[in-house]
A and B are shown apart, each in its own frame.
Chain A
Amino acid sequence: MTTTAVNPDLLGTLLTRLTGDEKHAPSAYSTLDVLWVLYDRVLRVSPDTVDDPDRDRFLLSKGHGPAGYYAVLAAKGFIPVDWLDDLGGPESPLGHHPDRVLIPGVEIGTGSLGHGLGLGVGTALGLRAQGLDARTFVLLGDAELDEGSNHEAIAYAAAARLDKLTAIVIDNQSSTHGWPGGIASRFPGWTASTVDGRDHEAIEIALRQRDRDRPHVVVAAVEKKG
């Protein structure tokens, strides 16, 4: 895999094509840095291996605001760049929430919050049952954790010792009632890293971390949602 430096110009150009908004720098997107580090440095998946049973899985549970996701998929060659020009159009494969049936490389269709982690637990169980070594990453938002379904998945993933499952929580402090004690404490039985969600080196180290028999959560803190 080639590891490239972040190319803010490229992603900025792609994001502008998606949104028509030239004012916002890539840093305006809370998930963008984590997504870039995942696809550029961590995930063992490429446009040629999107159907490989042994590929790493990335599940975007937080289907909201997928512009950063689409920009990274286009930058890495999973989807044609010109798809970005028609977000949400009647013939466009790209909606305001992603649909796995329409987009190569997208593992799950999401939008309704609180579905990705359960699907991720099932994916990790399915890979383990078939003796496959692939890892499963699930990206959530701190407000998404409000959904109780996540807590079913969090508790069971620890009990099932899903060591190849990693949850990533983008924390932009958008949960209405917050998480007193910190988000990592809501993942009992998991290992946890809390990092600056803009620091690529720190994100990479946290994503590469894994325990021998526990799932891992990476809390990536970014600016508070305005």
Chain B
Amino acid sequence: MRETFVATTTALLEEDPRTAVVLADISGDAFAPAQRRHPDRVINVGIREQLMAGVAGGLALTGLRPYVHSYAPFVIDRAYEQIKLDLGHQDVGAVLVSIGASYDASSEGYTHQSPGDVALLDTLEGWTVHVPGHPNEVPALLRAAARNDDRIYVRLSSQQNSRAYAATDKLQVVRQGWAGAPVVLAVGPMLDPVLAATADLDVTVAYTLTPRPLDTRGLRELVSREVVVVEPYLAGTSSRLVAAALSDVPHRGLHLGVGRAEQRRYGTPADHARWHGLDATGLRASISAFLRAGS
């Protein structure tokens, strides 16, 4: 997905004079050709993430459209107050594009992991969050973001599904269960593990790559009683929105995602998925237990 991001943003720099890219060394080499062509609009501030966000706010105040990029823990966690004040409080927008997600950098350790990024943005007003599940979903998201001044977060990951879906902000039903079947909503790269985990379960599987704003109307239409949400970041991040969407119907909910406990282990992303119960086996166990408990 990172390569797709670099290619699409490089093309946008060429096509749209409003486009600017702000880096803090991460992916600097990948953007070097674009920087040579557009030295005033490809800005590498060095290892200075607070400044990266401040510069984005300043660029936006002059009418440019900044794409801001680093590892998720550096662009979101570290620069949280700059995101809150230099963008939100100034009433300007930017497109923050992260890599690393919750545990792509599994062997780098917790310093390079951000399971809490979406929860942090949930404390702020007006953020759209895209969590693509496939590289081919990325260009349309980035191109759409060039046409407005919204505050947009694109959470790229090396974890991906086997196929791409439409880059829409609506829920997409991937597998239809019987009428009234429990609904399992998979966010971004959680879809393939969810499909594998529920292959022989009578459930409806829905997919979204835009969890913010969550398509609450689509969810309300889909859910009869049971809903399971599987997110690739902190477990329960969307529970508040799901509860609000279903506030007028009796329902049961299960929220799966990355646990809060720091693993203090390295290994591969697949290892971390297993430890957090987000591989197909773990998901199947959690979802089956949840469904049994309600029957």
Q: Is B86 a contact of A100 with CB atoms below 8 Å?
A: no
Among B154-182, those with CB < 8 Å from A are none
Which among A107, A108, A126, A159 is the interface contact of B59 at CB below 8 angstroms? Answer: A126
Mark B11-44 against chain A: 1 for CB-CB distance below 8 A, else 0.
0000001001000000000000000000011010
Max chain B C-beta neighbours (<10 A), residue from A107, A117, A153: A153
* List of B residues within 8 angstroms of A120 by Cβ: 58
Nearest chain-A residue to B91 (Cβ)? A101
A123 to B64, CA, bound (A): 10
Mark A155-168 against chain B: 1 for CB-CB distance below 8 A, else 0.
11001100000000
Q: Is B91 a contact of A100 with CB atoms below 8 Å?
A: yes
* List of A residues within 8 angstroms of B50 by Cβ: 118, 148-149, 152
Q: Is A152 a contact of B45 with CB atoms below 8 Å?
A: yes
Q: Is A115 a contact of B59 with CB atoms below 8 Å?
A: no
Q: Is B54 a contact of A126 with CB atoms below 8 Å?
A: no
Q: Is B48 a contact of A123 with CB atoms below 8 Å?
A: no
Nearest chain-A residue to B39 (Cβ)? A129
B51 at the interface (CB under 8 A from A): yes
Q: Is B54 a contact of A115 with CB atoms below 8 Å?
A: yes
Which among A118, A126, A156 is the interface contact of B62 at CB below 8 angstroms? Answer: A126
Which among A107, A129, A152 is the interface contact of B51 at CB below 8 angstroms? Answer: A152
B108 at the interface (CB under 8 A from A): no
A107 to B90, CA, bound (A): 9
Q: Is A126 a contact of B63 with CB atoms below 8 Å?
A: yes
Q: Secondary structure of the A side of the interface? A: helix
Q: Is A125 a contact of B58 with CB atoms below 8 Å?
A: yes
Indicate whether A156 sits within 8 Å of B58 (C-beta atoms), given known contacts A109-B89, A118-B51.
no
A149 to B17, CA, bound (A): 29
B57 at the interface (CB under 8 A from A): yes
Which among B43, B54, B60, B91 is the interface contact of A118 at CB below 8 angstroms? Answer: B54
Which among B45, B60, B62, B81 is the interface contact of A53 at CB below 8 angstroms? Answer: B62
Among A42-95, those with CB < 8 Å from B are 53
Whole-angstrom distance between the Cβ of B26 and the nearest chain A Cβ: 16
Q: Is A122 a contact of B56 with CB atoms below 8 Å?
A: yes
A152 to B46, CA, bound (A): 9
A41 to B50, CA, bound (A): 33
Whole-angstrom distance between the Cβ of A100 and the nearest chain B Cβ: 6
A108 to B89, CA, bound (A): 9
Q: Is B51 a contact of A53 with CB atoms below 8 Å?
A: no
Whole-angstrom distance between the Cβ of A18 and the nearest chain B Cβ: 23
Nearest chain-A residue to B46 (Cβ)? A156
Q: Is A156 a contact of B48 with CB atoms below 8 Å?
A: yes
* List of B residues within 8 angstroms of A124 by Cβ: 58
Q: Is B46 a contact of A118 with CB atoms below 8 Å?
A: no
Number of A-B residue pairs, CB cutoff 8 Å, is: 98
B55 at the interface (CB under 8 A from A): yes
* List of B residues within 8 angstroms of A121 by Cβ: 51, 54-55, 58
Among B73-109, those with CB < 8 Å from A are 81-82, 85-86, 89-91
Q: Is A125 a contact of B59 with CB atoms below 8 Å?
A: yes
Nearest chain-B residue to A116 (Cβ)? B54
A124 to B266, CA, bound (A): 43
Indicate whether A115 sits within 8 Å of B91 (C-beta atoms), given known contacts A124-B58, A149-B54.
no
* List of A residues within 8 angstroms of B40 by Cβ: 125, 128-129
Indicate whether A118 sits within 8 Å of B55 (C-beta atoms), given known contacts A126-B20, A152-B50.
yes
B61 at the interface (CB under 8 A from A): yes
A152 to B91, CA, bound (A): 23
A129 to B45, CA, bound (A): 15
Q: Is B85 a contact of A129 with CB atoms below 8 Å?
A: no
Q: Is A115 a contact of B58 with CB atoms below 8 Å?
A: no
Indicate whether A126 sits within 8 Å of B61 (C-beta atoms), given known contacts A115-B54, A118-B54.
yes
* List of A residues within 8 angstroms of B82 by Cβ: 115, 118, 149
A53 to B18, CA, bound (A): 14
A-B contact pairs, 27 of them (CB 8 A): A100-B91, A112-B85, A115-B54, A115-B86, A118-B54, A118-B82, A118-B86, A119-B54, A119-B58, A119-B86, A121-B55, A122-B54, A122-B59, A122-B66, A123-B61, A124-B58, A125-B40, A126-B58, A126-B59, A126-B64, A129-B41, A130-B62, A132-B62, A152-B51, A153-B51, A153-B54, A156-B46
User: Residues of B with Cβ closer than 8 Å to A?
Assistant: 17, 20, 40-41, 43, 45-46, 48, 50-51, 53-64, 66, 81-82, 85-86, 89-91
Known: A115-B85, A129-B20, A149-B50. 19 other contacts (CB 8 A): A100-B91, A117-B54, A118-B55, A119-B58, A121-B55, A122-B55, A122-B57, A122-B59, A122-B66, A123-B61, A125-B58, A126-B58, A126-B59, A126-B62, A128-B40, A153-B54, A156-B46, A156-B51, A159-B46
